[in-house]
A and B are shown apart, each in its own frame.
Chain A
């Protein structure tokens, strides 16, 4: 994934958003400010695949914090979304490159800007789709990155 992202260090373009009308009514909208939601994350970049666990918590109606870890517990990165932008932190050195940050931050911002209302949306460069079973798909067309978020029940 790193080497593939290396090939695309171009700045993301600002694009006009076109929100699709087919919003999906699901019962997974975050309402409890203390609640932590867990998702299985599958990240596909061309033939490369990475999996991990995506955890998010609402700190306020506009602030979302969270982290991405692999199944063995190793942190990939933490993030804070402030209602407009996402800031990443705690990245290991091999991920802590400006071009990786830039793509991930923009993708996460797009994800969270649609996460609360669960409405499918398409831009020129990205698309987010909410399935009735709670699965969320995010595609970054420009860099050919496909994120799939599958809800995990918090039970062991």
Chain B
């Protein structure tokens, strides 16, 4: 009796841990079609975000928050407002990073690492082109009502740091809801996109690179 109970309990606990199923190729096609449709319809995005970092060494989750602006195809302002000030602006080939004390401009054409970083940011924020990414192997999963894409890095530079990047979509597959970046050490950072405003007018000045 006890033995049966242990077996059932083990199976149930394994199911709850997994809680996610890989999509069949047919399901994948349908989900991808919907994702592409949503991604194609997205022209601008403005939202708040909350970032949480789980660290092994400290008994605390580090939290930060900020605002995100995106205009298709390649303008992004990713701005942390608390507890620190830090702004990442991409405008075409130009990237500007503003911290509390310094401002730095980078030309991503001449910087391989930054080219990869900006591609990752664009893909994960919009959810577009994820499956066509040359830099990742991608698998689609369903978890509860929602879907997520698990991106496994192929490039050496990214592979050295990240084990996987998971992009979570809302159940209707119209928006990216959160991004989980899992480091090789097992530590991870989650970014939740909140109060999204889609296809509203965004002032060009937010993408100005001085």
A156 interfacial by beta-carbon distance below 8 Å: yes
**Known contacts A73-B51, A75-B185, A148-B101: A36-B60 contact under CB 8 Å:** yes
B134 interfacial by beta-carbon distance below 8 Å: no
A98 interfacial by beta-carbon distance below 8 Å: no
Interface residues on A, range: 20 to 34
Contact A69 B64 (CB under 8 A): no
B114 to chain A, nearest CB (A): 13
Inside 8 A of A66's CB, which chain B residues have their CB? 57-58
Interface size on B, residues (CB 8 A): 32
The stretch of A6-14, A88-96, A113-121 in contact with B is: A88-96
Q: Which DSSP category, helix, strand, loop or mixed, fits chain A's interface?
A: strand
The 8 Å CB contact of B83, one of A51, A148, A152, is A152
The 8 Å CB contact of B62, one of A55, A89, A94, A150, is A55
Contact A69 B62 (CB under 8 A): yes
Residues of B within 8 A of A (CB): 50-51, 53, 55-60, 62-65, 80, 82-84, 86, 97, 99-102, 104, 160-161, 181, 183-185, 187, 189
Residues of A within 8 A of B (CB): 34, 36, 38, 40, 42, 49, 51, 53, 55, 57, 65-67, 69, 71-75, 78, 80, 89-90, 92-94, 148, 150, 152-156
